[in-house]
């Protein structure tokens, strides 16, 4: 019989709210050399989740909710805080509330791995709302609405933790963050059968779940240590043009989308829903500057305006047609260049 979903227990290492401090058992022998410390790295390439059709089985896997926002690493040092995107760009100024909260954590140095998100009224992460709070793609706004769900601890008070197994890293992270509901929050592990948790996530309108192997170190790339299982498919596609419409918001009837097959772009259909009026107007202005007479893909349509394949859109969809086109696609927003989003690759 499967277990119902429930949150993990309280942090294990301490019961107080005081900062974590190490206490020597006895005075250090002056003749004994200092133990070596690991220098805090400028950047750690992120571990990425591999798409899976269903949750894995067995006690070696733990589960979390999949958050839909911008993946960031928060570097905390005694004199500074830096928020680094997946592409290696410094976005500290874009997330001032997260940076301020990081300065209040009782730790000398640390690197938190997590997702910057904006929540809707139901507590679900809303990528479109996050994009709007930042001023859209290419915008310069700072988002005071964004919070951080931290799900890993990669460096802690002078020690590189990336070679430690996930269960040990999570043990330290839970103790560091506790059960705070502030701007920086712990992404809770959920004890449940993966299939039961996925069904509950889908029922509540969430994007899906993440499965992580308890005993693996932190390894950059998509190596299968982390898996993502989605309720609704959501991927990044290149915008290669649009169909004009006098009746549609921003004058855009549909956006034309493309994915990669090997090194070439291939047309995978279009999207005409999900736009907010302000987004559509700004998107039209951006596309006007990217017009080209050289089609980046082959499209059997009349009256299409082709654009340089520069903008990357986040698209929700339900399935693929037999001829390789997206079904029931909906526009969610534009990805930032600094986010280094993966453009969908056709098999």
**Catalytically annotated residues:** 66
Longest dimension (CA), the chain: 82
> Would you call 77 exposed, middle or buried from its count of C-beta atoms within 10 A (0-12, 13-18, 19+)?
middle
What are the structure tokens assigned to 341, written together?
């989003």
Pick the closest to residue 105 from 43, 167, 172, 161 (CA basis).
Answer: 172
DSSP annotation string for 259-303: EEETTEEEEEEEE-----HHHHHHHHHHHHTTB-SS-SS----SS
CB distance 75 to 90 below 8 Å: no
Using a 10 angstrom Cβ sphere, with 0-12 exposed, 13-18 middle and 19 or more buried, the burial of residue 54 is: exposed
Q: Which of 252-264 are b and which e, b meaning 16 or more Cβ less than 10 Å from the residue's Cβ? A: bbbbbbbbbeeee
């Amino acid at each position: 019989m499967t277990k119902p979903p429930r949150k993990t227990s309280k942090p294990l290492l301490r019961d107080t709210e005081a900062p974590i401090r190490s206490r020597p058992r006895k005075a250090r022998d002056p003749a004994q050399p200092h133990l070596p410390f690991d220098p805090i790295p400028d950047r750690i390439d992120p571990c990425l989740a591999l798409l899976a059709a269903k949750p894995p089985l067995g006690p070696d896997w733990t589960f979390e909710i999949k958050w839909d926002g911008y993946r960031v690493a928060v570097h905390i040092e005694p004199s500074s805080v830096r928020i680094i995107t997946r592409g290696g760009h410094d976005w500290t100024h874009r997330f001032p509330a997260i940076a301020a909260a990081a300065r209040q954590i009782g730790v000398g140095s640390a690197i938190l791995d997590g997702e910057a998100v904006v929540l809707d009224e139901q507590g679900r992460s809303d990528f479109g709302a996050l994009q709007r709070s930042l001023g859209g793609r290419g915008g310069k706004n700072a988002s005071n609405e964004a919070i951080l769900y931290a799900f890993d601890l990669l460096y802690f008070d002078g020690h590189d933790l990336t070679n430690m197994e996930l269960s040990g890293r999570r043990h330290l992270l839970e103790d560091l963050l506790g059960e705070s509901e502030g701007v920086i929050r712990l992404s809770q592990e959920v004890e449940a059968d993966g299939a039961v948790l996925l069904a509950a996530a889908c029922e509540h309108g969430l994007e899906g779940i993440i499965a992580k192997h308890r005993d693996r170190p932190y390894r950059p790339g998509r190596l299968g240590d982390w898996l993502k299982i989605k309720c609704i498919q959501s991927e990044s596609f290149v915008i290669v043009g649009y169909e004009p419409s006098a009746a549609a918001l921003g004058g855009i009837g549909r956006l034309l989308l493309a994915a990669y097959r090997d090194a070439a772009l291939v047309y995978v259909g279009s999207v005409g829903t999900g736009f907010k009026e302000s987004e559509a107007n700004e998107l039209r202005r951006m596309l006007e500057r990217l017009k080209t007479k050289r089609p980046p893909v082959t499209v059997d349509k009349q009256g299409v305006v082709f654009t340089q394949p520069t903008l990357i859109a986040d698209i929700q969809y339900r399935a693929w047609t037999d001829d390789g086109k997206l079904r029931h696609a909906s526009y969610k927003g534009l990805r930032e260049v600094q986010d280094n989003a993966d453009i969908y690759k056709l098999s």
